[in-house]
Structure 1
Amino acid sequence: MGWFFFRYVLWASGLVGVFFLPNLSPLFAVQAWQTQFTIELTRDWISLFALPVTLDGYTVYLSHPFQIWIVDSCNGLTAYLLLAAAILAYPAHWRVKTLWLMENYLILAFLNSLRITLVIYATQWDSDYFYCAHDCVGRYSFIVMTLLLFVIFTQRVKVSQNNSAPIKPIKPTKPTKSIKADPSPTPAR
């Protein structure tokens, strides 16, 4: 467990550094792309549920004067990177980890845009609901869903001692015939 925690901290620190430090990060632009992707998914949910709101750029205009902005901190990338760090730190085969990383990215993007849509829906009724819907229900339910995805991962993936190759069962070998020593003494010369 200690080894997993150590590797998790290393992976999380590295991923956060690579994606979130604007002056040092080669992948900082992923933030803007992820935010735009989240906005487009949220736009689809708004259309599907026929919510009486207008989404213009990153601003959601409600029927009352309250507005909601979908900014970089709303895009779900932080939760995904923390989940990715846990998956990468887990002792499993790399091909399995890669598959789970891709699947969980899509699942979290879907759930995050649905979470934002539900916050918009609750706030549509009354702008006072925003803080509870966003900070309490939305944020904590997203954390719980992310943790649940990792629990599902750990339940379905076998632990591997060697991360570069899948575990192969050891086949029992057939017993070999033993050579019995001749009980008679050897003649002396």
Structure 2
Amino acid sequence: MNRKALAVLSGLLALSAPVACSSQAKSASTPSGQPETPSAARSDMTKTHRPDTAKPSAPVDVKAELDKDRARVTLRFDAPATDVQVNISGVDGLTVKSAPTPVDGASFVAAGESSFDVTFTPGAGRSHLVVAVTGNFRGAHQSKVASFAVGTPSKEQQKSTGTTVTGEDGQRIKVMPSGGGQ
């Protein structure tokens, strides 16, 4: 592994340390009142008190029913929303042929739904249709982005360009090359 990859990996590990230290663990004692060992407390915490590390996003569920060159996108709002804008784009060669902003300045009630069709030209191999929803939800400006894979990866896309390692928690981590020389 080169130095840059090690620097990136150690930086990621350093960033994850505050998350591990900021959990809402209960007092470290067993039902019998005896203090737990640190490893027992950590083991219990990871099983039942795992902190939510997901990025906060708009309370909207985004789904897409995909076909070769079209998609039916459905939005379901979990909270009232105003000034909602939906932007459609493509990644990895996918080109959107329909309106790139099918919703602009709309309002929705909680449990409200909106559906629209999107036409596109897929890229070579696997490409992605991206749906970005922004608006005011419960008085706060929030957004949510969803990506939907279209097609099958080409042989070139299937080639691995990084090294896969497994973290202490069993999570797979892909270390990608930095692109620069040493």
Q: TM-score range by the shorter chain?
A: under 0.3
Q: Which has the higher helix share?
A: 1
* TM-score between the two structures when normalised by the length of structure 1: 0.23
Greater relative contact order, per chain length (Cα 8 Å cut-off, separation 6+): 1
